[in-house]
Amino acid sequence: MGITIIQYLALATITIYATIRASYFVDELDKKTKISGALIGGVLLATVTSLPEFITSITSTVILDSPGLAFGNVFGSNMFNLLILALADLFFIKHLFFNKTKTGVKTNSLIIFMYMIFLLPFLLSKISNLGYGNFDIRIGIAFSAISVLIIIVYFFTVKAMSEELPDLEKTGESRRSKKEILIKFSLWAVVVIIASYFITVVTDRLAVELSLSTSFAGAIFLGVATSLPEFTAVFTLIKLKNYDVALGNILGSNIFNMTIISVVDIINVRRNIFEVLTEDVDLGKNVSLLLILGFVNSIIVLVALKRRKTENRILYALPSVLIVASYLIYIAFSV
């Protein structure tokens, strides 16, 4: 077990460093263009920082035949991403992060809509008076339709991010050319992808050695590991005072993560991966808890973005404190 933990920590360290480098190049690209920081952070950077979730979800489902890891990874990562945003907000509270962001309301609203779509099967099961292990064929069909619907919503979110106003107050200038920035950004992105693949294999081994459920192992070990890129990116970007790209990265990553589940569901030809939620009662309960808390936290973020700006640090910090509390609640109910 000791060797496995060392491997996990080593891969996590590589992921952190590679993402810090990628974040700096994204910040330079932002200064080179007139494109909205929300779009750069929500699509370009979020795609790269969410590639670990994509690679690990494909690996755990198609290669390891453990879709529970994929569910825990994706929705656990979403929970951890908002925890990252809350912790960064509290750590850099003098920045009054949410007061400075000019984007994110439309995108976050669509995230809330996505959570409602994923929660629909659980509501259908209650309406049909069926237990988690007794879904009929109609519920199975609903799951497949949900995957298609999520992918459609993803394209609407990209459109929403592209319509966000560009940051006209961008400061600083990069001495590198756009070509050089993109090449170096791509090289560090490849490092992130390779490290994330091996993190999946190591996490699966940890779940077995520690006798953990795949969803909990996915939400904690894999979810945290694959969210390390977001962690380092957000802290780096807020430190650079690039608030819209930092927010766009978290929101874009959460949207991309949920789309990952739908893509995996479609390309996994062996079976509908949502069926595992009907076969494993504990997994279904764990995933539903992740979905409910993620839904609530997304509403909290929306409130923080739309509320009247306040200089009172206690009132200002309240949304972030609630998000941290909800993550602790998940840990307490899942251990």
- Is 125 a member of any domain? yes
- Domain around 294: 2-165+176-334
Task: Give the per-residue pLDDT at 220.
Answer: 67
- CATH number of the domain at 77, please: 1.20.1420.30
Distance between CA atoms of residues 210 and 207, nearest Å: 5
Select from 55, 47, 10, 13 the least CA-distant residue to 197: 55
Residues with Cβ within 8 Å of 324's Cβ and at least 6 positions away in sequence, in order, are: 83, 86, 87, 90
Residue-level pLDDT at 203: 73
- pLDDT for the residue 294: 93
User: How many independent structural domains does the chain possess?
Assistant: 1
Q: What is d(CA 35, CA 178) in angstroms, rounded to the nearest whole number? A: 13
Q: What is the pLDDT of residue 38?
A: 54
Predicted pLDDT of residue 132: 41
Does residue 171 fall inside a structural domain?
Answer: no
In a domain, 100, yes or no: yes
Position 142 scores a pLDDT of: 41
The answer to whether residues 160 and 110 touch, using CB atoms and an 8 Å cutoff, is yes
- The pLDDT score that the predictor gives to residue 69 is 77
* Residue 170 belongs to a domain: no
Which bin fits 173, alpha (ψ -120 to 50), beta or left (φ > 0)? beta
Is the whole-model pTM more than 0.85? no
pLDDT (0 to 100) of residue 291: 92
Question: Whole-angstrom Cα distance, residue 177 to residue 160?
Answer: 28
34 CB-contact burial (10 Å; exposed 0-12 / middle 13-18 / buried 19+) = exposed
277: in domain: yes
pLDDT along the chain (335 residues), means of 10: 82 80 74 61 67 77 78 85 93 90 85 90 62 42 69 83 57 68 84 78 74 63 71 83 84 87 80 74 83 94 91 93 93 77
Predicted confidence at residue 66, as pLDDT, reads 77
Give the pLDDT of residue 112: 95
pLDDT in tens, 44-94: 667 776 777 787 788 778 777 777 778 887 888 899 889 999 999 999 999
Domain annotation covers residue 87: yes
Q: Does 38 fall in a domain?
A: yes
- Distance set, CA 25 to CA 58, 241, 265 (Å): 27, 15, 33
Residue 160 lies inside a defined structural domain of this protein:
yes
Whole-angstrom distance, CA of residue 164 vs CA of residue 145: 29
Residue length of the chain: 335
